[in-house]
Amino acid sequence: MARIPSTTPPEGAQIPPRHAKAPESGSRIPSHFGHCFGCGELHPTGLHLVAHVGQAQDITAVFTVTENHQGAPGLAHGGLLSLAFDEALGKLMWLIRSPAVTARLETDFILPVPMGTELHISAQITGQVNRKVYTSAVGRLGSVEGPIAVRASALFIIVPMKHFMDNAPKAYLEHVTAHPELLAFVDPDFEINP
């Protein structure tokens, strides 16, 4: 049986420095794709998660649970909550300017998240070893000081930007080529920091 990768940083993992071209503290992290279900402003029923850069290797994010995000009547679907955390934790990669993919995501549901509730997520990088970036987050109900409803941790693997571009539909690539300002994600200066 294959070993399941841990989301806990191993001994010796270091917190990577913030990249010189990372967004400034307090700034909004752009959506990597307008139609992304997690952070895209153009997705009609998406989470529309908004994230801002923190003071260190951290971000804050918020989204409102709508009727489109229900599992049980009136409550957020657990899978959509996991998606919100995957999105928020993934936005940490803007701080080190390294494109990455989720290798493992662990989500613990502590309290129900009712429809109409704002979920406030605080996420941070907890370590890096070569291409592996370890992260963790908590989600609080109603405010940044509200009760913790969800905890999550994830392991991301840094990949070349080519991974995303090789898998994008042709029409998408043509559109981005014609309108590069639409996707901060497509950045010729985006570096791999192994």
Structural domains of the chain, with CATH: 28-178 (3.10.129.10)
Q: How far apart are CA 82 and CA 69, in angstroms?
A: 12
The residue among 62, 57, 30, 19 whose CA lies nearest residue 134 is 57
> Which of 102, 94, 28 has the alpha carbon at shortest distance from 62?
28
pLDDT in tens, 141-156: 999 999 999 999 999 9
CB 114 within 8 Å of CB 73: no
The sign one gets for the Cα dihedral 81, 162, 59, 131 is positive
For residue 184, the model assigns a pLDDT of: 47
Mean pLDDT value across residues 103-114: 97
- Whether residue 185 is predicted with pLDDT greater than 50 in this model: the reply is no
How confident is the model at residue 35, as a pLDDT? Answer: 77
**Does residue 165 or residue 191 have the better pLDDT?**
165
Residue ranges of the alpha helices (H) in 31-178? 78-90, 93-96, 162-167, 170-178
For the cut 70, the answer to whether the pLDDT of residue 58 exceeds it is: yes
Q: Of 2-16, 32-46, 144-158, which gets the smallest average pLDDT?
A: 32-46
Cβ–Cβ < 8 Å for 134, 8: yes
Q: Tell me how many degrees the CA angle 149-153-155 measures, rounded to the nearest 5.
A: 160
Cα dihedral angle (68, 72, 73, 76), rounded to 10 degrees?
Answer: -50
For residue 47, name the pLDDT band (cuts at 50, 70, 90): confident
pLDDT at 192: 38
Bigger pLDDT: 187 vs 150: 150
Mean pLDDT of 39-45: 83
At 189 the pLDDT is 52
Residue 36 pLDDT level (bands cut at 50, 70, 90): confident
| Cβ pair 62, 48 in contact under 8 A | no
Report the pLDDT value the prediction gives residue 60, as an integer from 0 to 100. 97
Which residue from 79, 71, 92 is spatially nearest to 137, judged by alpha carbons? 92
76 strand-pairing partners: 70
Which pTM was predicted?
0.86
DSSP assignments along 89-136, one per residue: HHTTHHHHT--EEEEEEEEEE-S--BTT-EEEEEEEEEEEETTEEEEE
Which residue do the tokens 């000081």 mark?
145
Least confident of 25-34, 86-95, 116-125, 156-165: 156-165
